[in-house]
Copies of this chain bind each other. A is one copy, B any other.
Amino acid sequence: MNAPDALRKPLPPAFNDTLSARFGSRFTTSAGVCAHHGHDESHFPDALPDAVVFPHDTDEVVAIVDACREHGVPIIPYGVGSSLEGHILAIHGGISIDFSEMNQVLAINAEDMNVVVQPGVTRKQLNAELHGSGLFFPIDPGADASLGGMAATRASGTNAVRYGTMRENVLGLTAVLADGRVIRTGGKARKSSAGYDLTHLLVGSEGTLAIITELIVRLHPLPEAVSAATCAFPDVVSAVNTVIQTIQLGIPVARIELVDALTVQAINRYSKTTLHESPMLFFEFHGSPASVEEQAQTVQELAREHGGLDFEWASRPEDRSKLWAARHDVYFASLNLRAGSRGVTTDVCVPISKLAECVAGVRDDIEASGFIAPIVGHVGDGNFHTIILVDPDSADEIARAEELNHRIVHRALALGGTCTGEHGIGIGKQAFLLAEHGAPAIDAMRMIKQALDPDNLLNPGKILLPG
Contact = CB atoms under 8 A, between A and B. Distances in A.
B201 A416 contact: no
A112 B191 contact: no
A309 interface: no
A422 B444 CA distance: 26
Contacts of A156: 191
A353 B109 contact: yes
A205 B201 CA distance: 12
Contacts of A452: 444, 447-448
A20 B424 CA distance: 46
Given A167-B197, A189-B351, A193-B422, 5 more contacts: A168-B168, A190-B382, A192-B418, A223-B250, A288-B294
A167 B194 contact: no
B433 A194 contact: yes
A203 B195 contact: no
Interface in A349-401: 349-353, 381-383
Nearest to A451: B451
B436 A187 contact: yes
Interface string A146-171: 00000001111000100001011000
B418 A111 contact: no
Contacts of A193: 153-155, 204, 347, 418, 420-425
A196 B349 contact: no
A253 interface: no
29 contacts: A111-B352, A111-B353, A112-B352, A154-B193, A177-B444, A183-B437, A189-B416, A190-B351, A190-B381, A190-B383, A191-B383, A193-B204, A193-B347, A193-B420, A194-B419, A194-B420, A194-B425, A194-B432, A195-B204, A195-B463, A195-B464, A198-B441, A198-B444, A210-B444, A220-B250, A221-B248, A221-B249, A221-B250, A287-B291
Interface of A: 109, 111-114, 153-156, 160, 165, 167-168, 177, 181-185, 187-198, 200-201, 203-205, 209-210, 220-221, 223, 244, 247-250, 287-288, 290-291, 294, 347, 349-353, 381-383, 416-425, 429, 432-433, 436-438, 440-445, 447-452, 463-464
Contacts of A448: 196, 201, 448, 451-452
A392 to B, nearest CB: 24
A185 B441 contact: yes
B290 A191 contact: no
Given A183-B441, A291-B294, A444-B452, A191 B351 contact: no
A200 B170 CA distance: 13
Contacts of A182: 440
A450 B154 CA distance: 26
A187 B447 CA distance: 21
A390 to B, nearest CB: 22
A382 B190 CA distance: 7
Nearest to A223: B250
A79 to B, nearest CB: 15
Contacts of A451: 447-448, 450-451
Nearest to A154: B193
A381 B290 contact: no
Contact of A440 (B168, B183, B352, B437): B183
B192 A349 contact: yes
Contact of A203 (B189, B197, B223, B422): B197
Given A204-B196, A447-B451, A187 B113 contact: no
A281 to B, nearest CB: 17
Contacts of A184: 437-438, 441
Nearest to A421: B191
Given A193-B423, A196-B463, A109 B351 contact: yes
A210 B196 CA distance: 12
Contacts of A347: 193
Nearest to A422: B193
Contacts of A463: 195-196
B181 A416 contact: no
Contacts of A440: 177, 181-183
A188 B187 CA distance: 28
Contact of A350 (B189, B382, B436): B189
